[in-house]
Amino acid sequence: MSLTDLQIRKLKAPAKGQKTYFDDALSGFGVRVSQGGTKTFIVLHGKARTRRTIGRYPEMSLSEARNVAKRTQADMALDGVHDVKDAPTISFAEAQAKFLGDCDVRTKPRTVEEYRRLLNRHFSFDTAIGDITRKDIVDAIEKLRATPSEQKHAFVAIRTMMNWCRKLGFIDASPVPPLSFKAEARSRLLTDDELCTIWRRAVEYGYPYGRIVQLLILTGQRRGEIAGLRCSWIEGDEIVFPAGFVKNKREHVVPLGTMARAIIDNIPETSDLLFPSRLSDRTPFNGFSKAKRAFDAPITVPDYTLHDLRRTYSSAMARLGTPIHVTERLLNHVSGTISGVAAVYNRHSYRQEMREAVAAYEAFLERLIAA
The C-alpha atoms of residue 355 and residue 255 are separated, in whole angstroms, by 6
pLDDT at 171: 83
**pLDDT tens for each residue of 66-108:** 888 887 776 444 444 444 444 456 889 999 999 999 998 888 7
What's the Rg (C-alpha) of the chain?
Answer: 28
Tens digits of residue pLDDT in 272-313: 999 999 888 888 998 898 999 999 999 999 989 999 999 999
Dist. CA 325–CA 341, nearest whole Å: 15
- Residues forming a β-bridge with 68: none
Q: Per DSSP, what are the bridge partners of residue 55? A: 41
**Which pLDDT tens digit goes with each residue over 15-69?**
877 888 998 888 888 898 887 788 888 887 665 566 777 788 888 888 888 888 8
Instruction: Determine which helix (DSSP H) or strand (DSSP E) holds 180, and give its type and residue range.
Output: none
Q: What is the pLDDT of residue 84?
A: 43
Phi and psi, residue 39, nearest 5° = -120, 120
Provide the pLDDT for residue 175: 87
What pLDDT digit, counting tens, does each position of 203-241 carry?
Answer: 999 999 999 999 999 999 999 999 999 999 999 999 999
Q: φ and ψ at 40, to 5 degrees?
A: -125, 130
Exposure string of 238-263, with b = 16+ CB inside 10 Å and e = fewer, is ebebeeeebeeeeebbbbbbebbbeb
The average pLDDT across 242-269 equals: 91
* CA–CA distances in Å: residue 229 to residues 7, 225, 226, 277, 333: 63, 6, 5, 12, 19
Instruction: Give residue 82's pLDDT.
Output: 43
pLDDT value of residue 78 = 43
Q: What angle do CA 246, 112, 114 make, to 5 degrees?
A: 90
Please give the backbone phi and psi of residue 30, each rounded to the nearest 5 degrees, phi first: -165, -175
Its pTM surpasses 0.75: no
- Helix or strand run (H / E) with residue 51: strand 50-57
What pLDDT is attached to residue 346?
44
What is the model's pLDDT at position 287? 86
- Beta bridge partners, 128, equal 91
Pairing of strands 39-45, 50-57: antiparallel
pLDDT in tens, 129-153: 888 888 889 999 999 988 888 899 9
Distance CA 123, CA 12 (A): 25
pLDDT in tens, 330-367: 999 865 554 443 444 444 678 999 999 999 999 999 99
| pLDDT at site 345 | 40
Considering only CA atoms, which of 159, 91, 72 is closest in space to residue 130?
91
Q: Is residue 38 within 8 Å of 56, Cβ to Cβ? A: yes
- Burial class of residue 335 (count of CB atoms within 10 Å of its CB; 0-12, 13-18, 19+): exposed
Residue 249: which H helix or E strand, with range?
Answer: none
Count of Cβ atoms closer than 10 Å to residue 267 Cβ: 15
Helix H or strand E encompassing 212: helix 209-219
What was the pLDDT predicted at 49? Answer: 61
Residue 326 exposure: Cα atoms within 13 Å on the Cβ side: 20
- What is the C-alpha to C-alpha distance for residues 288 and 306, in angstroms, rounded to an integer? 10
> Using omega within 30 degrees of 0 as the cis cutoff, is the peptide bond preceding 208 cis?
yes
Q: Is 199 left (phi over 0), alpha (psi -120 to 50) or beta?
A: alpha
Model confidence band, residue 2 (pLDDT cutoffs 50, 70, 90): confident
